[in-house]
Amino acid sequence: MKKLILIFYVIISFKTLSVENLRFEVEKVDENLVLVNIVGVEKKEIKNDFEEYPYHKVRKGEYLNKIAKDYQKRPAKLVQINELKNPNLIYPKQKIYLEKKKSIDIEKIPKYHIVQRGENIISIALEYELDWKQILRLNSLESVTDIYPGQKIVLK
């Protein structure tokens, strides 16, 4: 019987949150990997996942200058990054991105990747900013760990 032990430290604004205040959503990817999403963290959390860039989710009553100050950004920079036509018109639940999205030049991504020791499909996908599920499909793989050093993986 396999046992899974998870230990989390969540540090936000130099404060450690207690586990009682948090809820964890667990998604089983395969028998060797689970993804854990931490729910219930205060608004100053910079959210990030495999397909997102850091952002702030606007709450009722917030305005752009305050959001910019909270993240030590210039309001004009947030206007530019988010292509806001009117910075005074932001609304609750709107995502305000904190960094400019990188443009991915598909031509610069190689067709293949040779697996190195310690890599898995997710680490390879992150390296090339690709969707790991797509890499699994392209290579007819069942699991993100079904690879070995020296193996040639199709990326596109």
Q: What is the DSSP letter of 109?
A: S
* Closest by CA position to 146, among listed 137, 4, 104, 58: 137
- What stretch of H or E contains 144? none
Q: How is the chain split into domains, by residue range?
A: 1-40, 55-97, 106-154
Q: Is the pLDDT of residue 14 over 50?
A: no
Q: How far is CA 34 from CA 12, 106, 145, in A?
A: 24, 29, 12
In this predicted structure, what is the pLDDT of residue 116?
93
Percent of the residues in the chain that have a pLDDT greater than 90, as a whole number: 34
Contact 44, 14 (CB under 8 A): no
Check whether 125 has a pLDDT greater than 50: yes
Closest CA to 49 of 138, 129, 135: 129
- Binned at pLDDT 50, 70 and 90, residue 34 comes out as low
Residues near 79 by beta carbon (within 8 Å), at least 6 away in sequence: 64, 87
Please report, for residues 5, 37, 38, 87, the alpha-carbon distance to residue 8 in angstroms, rounded to integers and kept in the order given: 10, 11, 10, 37
Bridge partner list, 153: 113
Q: Check if the beta carbon of residue 59 is closer than 8 Å to that of residue 92.
A: yes
pLDDT band, residue 145 (cuts 50/70/90): confident
Cα Rg of the chain, angstroms: 19
Residue found under tokens 């030049």:
105
What's 55-97's CATH class? alpha beta
Does CATH number 3.10.350.10 belong to domain 106-154?
A: yes
